[in-house]
Structure 1
Amino acid sequence: MKLIVGLGNPGSRYEGNRHNIGFMAVDEIHRRHSTFQPWRARFQGQVSEGRLGSEKVLLLKPSTYMNESGRSVGEAMRFYKIEPEDIVVLYDELDLPPAKFRMKKGGGHGGHNGLRSITAHIGADYRRLRLGIGHPGDKKLVSNYVLGDFAKADRDWLEPLLTEVADHADLLAEGKDSQFANKLTLILEPEKSQRKNKAPNGEGGAPKHQKAKGQSHIRQARQQAPANLPKSGPMAEMLKKLLGGRKD
């Protein structure tokens, strides 16, 4: 059994909050994979069992509020005897721009109260999918910002992000975090993916169509001059001056 946890606060009041992007992502996984059962109350949260790829998976949305998320996660983990490395937590990340994401295993809580609680209950060795929501620019504004709803304009990046997370969630369940990240980068950040995957030129030099670095126009003219030049007349005199007296 693998455990995929979305973090957020329960109730309609918080449903559209930036802090609830973890709930949104897990809801999208549930919607897009017909193998999952209806949500039901268990482990101090809402759970649904199903399959992703070759793995049996439990989706969990703690109902304990963000600051006590670890109580719900710990209870589910102990019941199914799940190891921390088989747990993936999806949550909002202030330090990432909107629409960006990062996979990480272990580490600190970074001031996130949901992670702080989970780490206190099960240790720090679980896997994390950080979903960027951006930062308001001032620490004093953070609370209102994360507990504020996404703007309508955010749908342009939020919906594609949640869709791709859900469509490739089988890779998360199978522990293929690098493949998961590569898939999402290829789709959501194609320019970045192209830069990373750009192959070096043959022998490591500049492409043939590019001018050699440091060569003047005169030097290039010398290299590319036709073999048969006029021997007399105005054109012959001009080429003689251009090519520095070269005789073919």
Structure 2
Amino acid sequence: MTDLSRFPITKKWPAAHPERLQLYSLPTPNGVKVAIALEEIGLAYEPHLVSFTTNDQLSPEFLSLNPNNKIPAIIDPDGPGGRPLPLFESGAILIYLADKTGQLLPQDPARRYEAIQWLMFQMGGIGPMFGQVGFFHKFAGKDYEDKRPRDRYIAEARRLLNVLNMHLEGRAWLVGDEYTIADIATWPWVNNLIGFYGARDLVGYDDFPEVDRVLQAFLARPAVQRGLKIPARD
């Protein structure tokens, strides 16, 4: 049987199936990326809920796996060379899973880098900027009298949505007809912006029909529907 006991995180979240990939996450836009990818790939895994309500992400056990105290993180018991691999950062995990299984990244080198390019676009732009819209519209920032910070992030969110909208004309997915990790990274954030954050009207989302077309295609995928709920909240 696979032994993961050298990883302190397994003391707080014991592995019932240590031979499976261990996922430590929460169903947020970043967290569901890896669950969706695993569901799409069909790789066996065991999810563990990292609850922000009880500050699990700040526990010594979680910090032993990800010192940056962010979800998601994984331990793959069957990593390179057959040795367990701990890994954090959602983008890095998505690339790793795609390389491990030969899925969700184009085999053609040029198109592979095109997919990684759009993955980085999500990580460097869409995620941080949409998250700031959420902060200033839904969370504590909404109470600030000065609305200039909010308006700055609204404008940037619209700019990013327009980049997506123009790019998607005539394309099924971000990399043409091929569904990739770039889509898995991007669309949970778009969905969160207009759903959980309630910013549809705020950012003028209906001005971007190509974005919504692809979002709806993404949400219709069975693996996405499952992954959006993993790990299940208490």
Q: TM-score range by the shorter chain?
A: under 0.3
Greater share of residues in strand: 1
Greater share of residues in helix: 2
- TM-score (normalised: structure 2): 0.24
Choose between structure 1 and 2 for higher RCO, CA contacts under 8 A separated by at least 6 residues. 2
Which has the higher Rg, Structure 1 or Structure 2?
1
